[in-house]
Amino acid sequence: MSQIRYLLDENLAALYRTEFGKREPTMIVWKIGDPGVPPKGTSDPKILCWCEEQGFVLVTNNRKSMPDHLSEHLATGRHIPGIIELNPKMGIGETIEELALIWEASDPNEYQDTILYLPLT
């Protein structure tokens, strides 16, 4: 079982978390706005700091500005467990399968300080 924990960006449909629960109930998947995580409207740089401090991989569809935010985050000497960028051409089912595969087969530090773009293949 993986130790990877996912934080879903607030702009992702709640259906993602529902489908994760069906696919793998032991997977830890939180969403921006949940109790104990950054509230909706939190800036991306603050979300990256929270992910670093709490050990969560950020799952987002923010392909435009997230690379710059990550560069700025790393330039200050900080780190992040990773960012996974979703592909808008992939359906929810296909995306869930890809993320479950990453969760099942990856080391928790494998994506540190990187952005992984889906699909894997």
Residue 2 has pLDDT above 70, yes or no: no
Does 18 reside within a domain?
yes
Residue 36: give its domain's CATH number: 3.40.50
The whole-model pTM stands at: 0.95
- CA–CA dist 99, 24 (Å, integer): 11
Reported confidence tier of residue 37, pLDDT bands at 50, 70, 90: very high
Average pLDDT over residues 91-99: 94
Residue 120's pLDDT is: 86
Least Cα distance to 72 among 102, 87, 98, 52 occurs for 52
Q: How many domains does one find in the chain?
A: 1
Residue 1 placed within a domain: no
Burial letters 83-120, b for 16+ CB under 10 A, else e: bbbbeeeeeeeebbebbbebbeebeeeebeeebbebee
Tell me how far apart the alpha carbons of residues 56 and 53 are, in angstroms, rounded to a whole number. 8
- Residue 25: asked if its preceding bond is cis (omega within 30°), the reply is no
Helix (H), strand (E) counts: the chain: 4, 5
Report the chain's mean pLDDT, rounded to a whole number.
93
User: Whole domain around residue 101: which residue ranges?
Assistant: 6-117
Res 1: pLDDT:
47
Lowest mean pLDDT among 24-28, 40-44, 53-57: 24-28
Residue 35 lies inside a defined structural domain of this protein: yes
**pLDDT grade, residue 3 (50/70/90)?**
confident
Span 95-102, average pLDDT: 94
Check pLDDT > 70 for residue 55: yes
